[in-house]
Structure 1
Amino acid sequence: MAWPSTRSLALLVVLVAGSAAVLSAQRGGLRGFGLLGAGSGTAPATFPDRHFVICRLVYPQGRQFAAGWRTDYPLGETNLSIRFGELTRTQVSTASDGSPNHYLVRLTDEQLFQCPMLVAGDISSMRLSEEEAGLLRAYLLKGGFLWTDDQWGSTQWAVWMEELAKIFDPAEYPMVEVPLSDPLFRAQFEVEAVPQIPNIQYWRSTHDTSEQGADSATPHLSAVRDHDGRIMVLSSHNTDIADAFEREGEDPDYFYQFSPKGYALGVNILLHALTH
C-alpha cells in the first residue's frame, strides 16, 4: 500500500461532512448476537478476502449492567470502515450489498488469528480467564493489534490495568503514554492533541467533555509495545473516540465539534496498525 499523503483537518471536515448522513439500513441493532449466541455479525470460519476488516472483541463481562463489548457497536465499526476506505487507499472488505464487513470474535474463536486488528469498548468491564488472557497474548505477540476505547477516570483505568496484567507482565511490557512526536499522530492527518470526545448524551445534557469531572479532565493515548517497539495494545483513555464515528449522522453540532477530530485520530490508528 502506498504511504498516504498528509491531509489537513479542514479537508477532512469537507470530505466527511459531504456524506455525513448514515443510511438507515446501517442502523440495525445487535441482530441477535448475544454472549452465548451467534448472529450475522459473527466472524466466518474463513474470511471472504484479504482486505481490511475490523473485528470487535466479544469479551466476558464482570459488570452485569454495563454495555460492555457492545459499546459503540455496530455503527462505530461501520462508519469508521466506510471513512477509512474513502480517506485512504486501503481496500476495505465489503459484503455483497457493498456495506463494509466487520466481525464479532471471542478470544476462544479460531477466527481470532485472521483478524488484522481488534477493537474493544468499555474495557474496564472485561474479566478474562487465564485461557482467554493467554490467547490474547499469543494473538498480540504474533502481530495482532488491540485498540481499547471509552474508559473514563482513575477507577476504570485501574481495573483495566489489572486485566492487562493478566495478558502481559507490566514490568516487561509496560503501558506508556504515546508522545505527540510519535509517527502515529502523522500517519495520514496531523493530530496535534488527543481529542476529548464525550458520549453524545452526556454532551447534550452538559455541553462538557469530561464525563467524570476532574478525574477525567485530561485525555490520554497509551500503548503497550513489543520488544521491537511495535504497538500491540493502544488505549484511548478519558475519551470516547468511537462516538465520533457512531454518532456522525445524529447531531450536526456534535458532528462538527467532534467527528473530524475523531476520524483524524481513528484513521491514523488504523493506518499505523496496518503498516507496523
Structure 2
Amino acid sequence: MKQLTAELLILTFLMTIICSGQEIAVLKYNGGGDWYANPTALPNLITFCNANINTTIKAKPKTVEVGSAAIFQYPFIHMTGHGNVVFSADEAENLRNYVLSGGFLHIDDNYGMEPYLRKELSKVFPDKQLEEIGNEHEIFRDKYAFPDGLPKIHEHDNKRPQALGLFHEGKLVLLFTYESDLGDGWEDSSVHNDPLVVREKALKMGANIVNYAFKH
C-alpha cells in the first residue's frame, strides 16, 4: 500500500508539473526567520534563466507554505533567511514527500540560519545527513563551469563556501548553499552594490541549480 501511495504521489506530481508549466516558488516557514528576504532575487534569477538557458519560467515566483499541498505544484522551491526555522512533524513529512516525489528544494543561507536548519532537517530526513557535494558534480558544470565548486558571493565569517546536499537513490534532492549567499548576488544591483562579475557568478550558479532541478 505504501508503495502504491508513493507511485500515485509521483504520478500526480508529474501531471501537475506538465499541466502548470514552469513555475518556481519561495518557501514560507515558521519560527520567526525572515523567509521573505531578498525579494528581488528570484525574479532576477528567473529573468536570467529565461534569457540564457532556454527556460520559460513564469516571471513572478509564488509563495508556498511548507505544510501546504501546494508545494507539489512546483518542481523547484527556494528557501532563504537569516534566523530561526521550525518545522512541525506534519510539515517535515510534507517536505519529505515533496522531494521524494520529484521536487527539488534549494536552501540558501542568507546568514545565520544554518544551526536552526540542520536541526529541522533531521525531522525531514532522520536517516540522512547533509554531505558536501564534490566539485565534479554536474551541478557545477552542466551549463556554466565552476571548477572550484560553489562561488563565494558575500563574506560573513571568513569561511569557505560549501554546497551541502541530501541525496535519494543517488540523486541530489536538496541543496543547501552555505557561506556563499547566492541570493544576495541575485538581487538588484542597487541593493548590495556588488560588481557585475560577482552578480554574474551568482546568477550563473543559480542557473545551474535551476537547470539541474528541471532536468532531473
Q: In the TM superposition, what are the counterparts of 1:241-260 in structure 2 within 5 Å? A: 241-250=182-191, 254-260=194-200
Look up the match of 1:196.
152
Q: For 2:67, what is the secondary structure of its paired residue?
A: coil
Within 5 Å, which residues of 2 pair with 1:69-88? 69-73=35-39, 75-88=40-53
**Could you tell me how far 1:47 is from its partner in structure 2?**
8.7
Size of the alignment, in residue pairs?
Answer: 200
Instruction: Give the match for residue 157 of structure 2.
Output: 212
Moved more, 103-112 or 229-238: 103-112
**Aligned residue in 2 for 1:275:** 215
1:133 aligns with 2:65: no
TM-score (norm 1): 0.67
Q: Deviations over 1:136-186 (max 9, x none)?
A: 111111111110012547xx43321111001002xx322111101011111
- TM-score w.r.t. length of structure 2: 0.85
Structure 1: gaps of 5 or more residues: 1-45, 94-99, 199-208
The change in CA–CA distance for 1:137 and 1:230 in structure 2 (over 3 A counts) is same
Distance 1:177 1:229, change over 3 A: same
User: 1:244 corresponds to which letter in structure 2?
Assistant: G
In the TM superposition, 1:37-116 aligns within 5 A as 50-61=20-31, 63=32, 66=33, 68-73=34-39, 75-93=40-58, 100-116=59-75
Q: In 2, Cα distance between the equivalents of 1:51 and 1:101?
A: 13
Q: Which residue of 2 aligns with 1:224?
A: 166
Give, in whole Å, the separation in 2 of the partners of 1:116 and 1:275. Answer: 10
Distance 1:267 1:56 in 2: 16
Q: 1:182 aligns with which of 116, 137, 141?
A: 137
Long gaps (5+) in structure 2: 1-15
Deviation at 1:190, TM superposition (A): 0.6
- How far off its partner does 1:248 sit? 3.0
Secondary structure of the equivalent of 1:125?
Answer: coil
Q: For the Cα contact (< 8 Å) 1:55–1:103, is it kept in 2?
A: yes
CA contact (8 A) 1:148 1:235 kept: yes
Corresponding position of 2:9: none
**Over alpha carbons, which structure has the higher Rg?**
1
Cα separation, partners in 2 of 1:114 and 1:176, compared to 1, 3 Å: same
Letter in 2 for 1:268: N
| CA RMSD across the alignment | 2.1
Establish whether residue 164 from structure 1 lines up as the match of residue 121 from structure 2: yes
> Is the 1:223–1:233 Cα contact (8 Å) retained in structure 2?
yes
2:106 to 139, 142, 147: 147
Correspondence list, 1:15-26, <5 A? none
3-state DSSP of counterpart to 1:254? coil
